[in-house]
Every structure is written in structure tokens, then in C-alpha cells.
Structure 1
């Protein structure tokens, strides 16, 4: 992405900041379908079981919100609920607000269905999709498409994300083309329980960001330069799945290896 210079003291600079967050949030949302009713996705947030990845979202070191990825077993299905809440303030006045809810259902190791609902500072978007014999059928407020049956959403928790050549954009429902470059060596990522060895992956193409995964394929960290002004956006780990709160997930395909034995919640970063 190409960074543009913007004033951080003028109203235009604050507007640029809001736009930056808008574009940033679009990296994390999206995917499939016909209009979801408010009732459909209001139920999504009620499924949370505290077996989640939690991140505090920082812009140039200042907290602007939180991003959680919650996991629940429903029979043999894995239900993944993604929640993003961002708010930009200037002189104690909220100049931009963004919320996103995304529910994925995984069955037999593949994406079975997805619903997303986004409020981008008053502009609403929706996506919905379901597996079919033809492929993964997606509908959204921006159009319809049939994607590969093994598509992976751009929610980044999936351990095979670094192996993908395409991702389903969970906000637009479009298929994003990506290139992945793995770091030659591992680094250490500060986690609630201590340092964790991880390998970073640089994602480029339709999506540009850096992701860190441990040897088990568990997402530990992400960051990127925000579109517009190039400001640094960091995801700081705050919580991690624990067996005490999600015993049925331990050993479960895709995410079971990421469930830890000890409580690791430290809550969102405070600024």
C-alpha cells in the first residue's frame, strides 16, 4: 500500500484518520450471502463461550478498539464468531465508529456457511454464503458469486491461511488474490503467558498485512500499515482459548491445538 501524507492537527487529518480505520476494518470483514436479518446476526454475539482469541487494536500506540474470534462446538461443527468494534475520537468526540459481526460454521474441515453484518459509520453491509454442489455460493449487498469449495475467509485464525492463494473477503464477499512470503527465521511474540516462538508471514496483493503463527498454526499477532496515511496498526494479544472455558474444543480439528491449559486472559489494553 502507498502511504499518503496527512495533517494530524487539522480537521482534514482527523477525517483521514477515520477513513484510515474504515479501510483498515475492510481488511478483516466480509463474505457471503443474502441479506441477513438483524435477528440472525444478533444471535451471533450471544454464542460467545470465552474460548476466544482477543486482541486490542492500536493505531500508532493508541487504542481504537477490540477484535475477538470466539470458538464453540455445535455437535461436530465448529462455530467461529468474529467481533470487531472500533471507535476513533477527536477532542472527546467520536468521529468514526465501526462494528462487524461474522459467523462461520465449519463442517468436516471446510467452510459450510458464513454470515456477516457490518455498520461502517452508518453504512450497512451484509454477506452470506453456503456450501453447495457447485462450490461456495456467496451473496452480498455488492453482488453474488460462486467461489471454490475450499475457500478460506479473511478472518486469519485458520492455520492454513499462510498456504492460501486466495481469501474470501468477509466484508465484500469478493475473492481476494494474495501472495505469501514466510520469514526465514522465527521471532518471539509477547503473549499473556510469556514469550512465544512464531513465524511471520507477509501477505500482499489484494490484502496487505503481516501475520504471526506458532508451530501449531495458531494466530498470535498481526499488523499492517493503514491505507491512506501509512499509520501503524497493531493487534496486541489479550486473550487466548483455554481448556477451562472450552473443554470440548481441546484436540478438535483446526483449532483444538490452540486451546491452552491455563487461564491466559489479561483483558484489553488500557490507554
Structure 2
């Protein structure tokens, strides 16, 4: 009887541990919204949001970006919306709609494993089997990719990304632990990811100006 009781207790404990681990894995992309402020030379010029919604076999990410900036006497506006469907942590499809200062772009990419086909408005139809993703920086595992493509017009990019170490970022005036990567090649980006594997900050140059996307909802990641 004692042996049965101990055995049952151990099995229950193991089961609870397994269920807890399973819950942690499946909640890695639980419903949430990542919010970013876009800065030019330290001044706010727009925002980006990543709305993540669970599905029975994966999740959907809806990305919205808006910027409005004045350079000298010229006003530039950018609007972008993108829907990514992920299944079993694999990208299944991407739909984009972009207004790049009055120039509209629209495309859809559909995947079968590492192979995909992309076509749309002002976007030439092409297919490839290089496992490329769009330049969707919110996930840390994009740093393992060497083939990417533009979220605007699906232009292919060849990149390499190296990890430079761990740092502490000042976000919303609080210290936030981060892993720093440097992406180079057809795209140059400094990337910082939080302990949740999601983007905290990216920095790059655009027309000679410093541009930053800084996450503003990261209080639960801060020290």
C-alpha cells in the first residue's frame, strides 16, 4: 500500500511538471500585443504594434506600422500592415499592404516548408526554396536566417547576423536585460531581444538619420 501511494505521488508530480512545462511551451506566443515607439534622432515619429493571437495549431501575428516625418520642407508618410500565419512554429503565409509615401505595394507569400511563392501589386511573382522570411524582426529566431525579403516589395536580402553579447537597455527609464545582435549585408540592423525572445529595440540608419524602434510595453521584463 505504501509503495502504491509513493508511486502514485511520484506519477502525479511528474504529470504536473509535464503539464506545467507544456503550458509554458504553448504560452510562448499567448495572446498579447507588442508596442513600439518609432524615433528619428530621438524624436517620436510613429509607432508599430504586433498583435499576436493564438490559434488551435499556432498563432497569427498582425503588424501595423505608421510613421509621419518631416525632412527639411518635405513630409514623408509610411503605412504598413502585415498578417503572418504561423503553424507549429513554421511560417505558413504572409499578407502585406504598404503605402510607402504614396507608392502602394501589396503582396502575398505562401509557404510549403522552406519553399514559398510570392506575388502581388507592384511585386514581381517569384518562388524560392531558401527558407526566407520577411524582415519580421519581432522574433529572435530571425537571427538564424541568412535569406530574408522586404516587407514592402518582397525584394530578396542576403544577411548574416552575429550575437555580440548580453547588455542592459534603458527602456521607459528602467533597466531591461537584453541580448544584442548585429545584422549586416543587404540589411544593416542592431537588434536587442528580451528574455521572452521578442524584440526590445532595433536601430538603423535611414537617409543619414538614426532610426530606433523601442518597445514600450516591457515592464514585466525589467529589473
Interval of TM-score (by shorter of Structure 1 and Structure 2)? 0.7 to 0.9
| Aligned residues: CA RMSD | 2.7
1:83 and 2:61 aligned: no
Task: Give the deviation of 1:158 after TM superposition.
Answer: 1.9
1:231-250 superposed matches below 5 A: 231-240=209-218
Instruction: Tell which has more relative contact order, 1 or 2 (C-alpha 8 A, sep 6+).
Output: 1
| Alignment-derived partner of residue 138 in structure 1 | 118
Kept in 2: contact 1:82–1:155 (CA 8 A): no
1:156-215 residue CA offsets vs partner (Å, 9 max, x unmatched)? 1122111111113221213210011221x3210123593222121111111111001134
| Alignment-derived partner of residue 189 in structure 2 | 209
Kept in 2: contact 1:86–1:99 (CA 8 A): yes
1:107-151 residue CA offsets vs partner (Å, 9 max, x unmatched)? 121110110001112210011011237821111322112133733
Taking a change above 3 Å as real, the CA distance of residues 142 and 196 of structure 1, as seen in their structure-2 partners, is same
Q: Which runs of 5+ in 2 are unaligned?
A: 1-29
| Alignment-derived partner of residue 161 in structure 1 | 142
Tell me how far apart the structure 1 counterparts of residues 71 and 135 of structure 2 sit (CA, whole Å): 30
Kept in 1: contact 2:62–2:81 (CA 8 A): yes
Kept in 2: contact 1:152–1:158 (CA 8 A): no
Taking a change above 3 Å as real, the CA distance of residues 220 and 133 of structure 1, as seen in their structure-2 partners, is closer
Tell me how far apart the structure 2 counterparts of residues 120 and 79 of structure 1 sit (CA, whole Å): 24
Kept in 2: contact 1:83–1:100 (CA 8 A): yes
Residue among 169, 184, 187 paired with 1:189: 169
1:76-103 residue CA offsets vs partner (Å, 9 max, x unmatched)? 2310111110111479x87121100000
1:54-65 superposed matches below 5 A: 54-65=35-46
Tell me how far apart the structure 2 counterparts of residues 231 and 129 of structure 1 sit (CA, whole Å): 31
| Alignment-derived partner of residue 34 in structure 2 | 53
Tell me how far apart the structure 2 counterparts of residues 178 and 202 of structure 1 sit (CA, whole Å): 10
What SS does structure 1 have at the residue aligned with 2:151? coil
Tell me how far apart the structure 1 counterparts of residues 45 and 133 of structure 2 sit (CA, whole Å): 27
With structure 1 as the length reference, what TM-score do the two structures score? 0.64
Q: Which runs of 5+ in 1 are unaligned?
A: 1-48, 243-259, 263-271
Tell me how far apart the structure 1 counterparts of residues 113 and 198 of structure 2 sit (CA, whole Å): 30
Structure showing greater Rg: 2
Larger deviation, residues 143-152 vs 60-69: 143-152
Task: Give the deviation of 1:239 after TM superposition.
Answer: 2.0
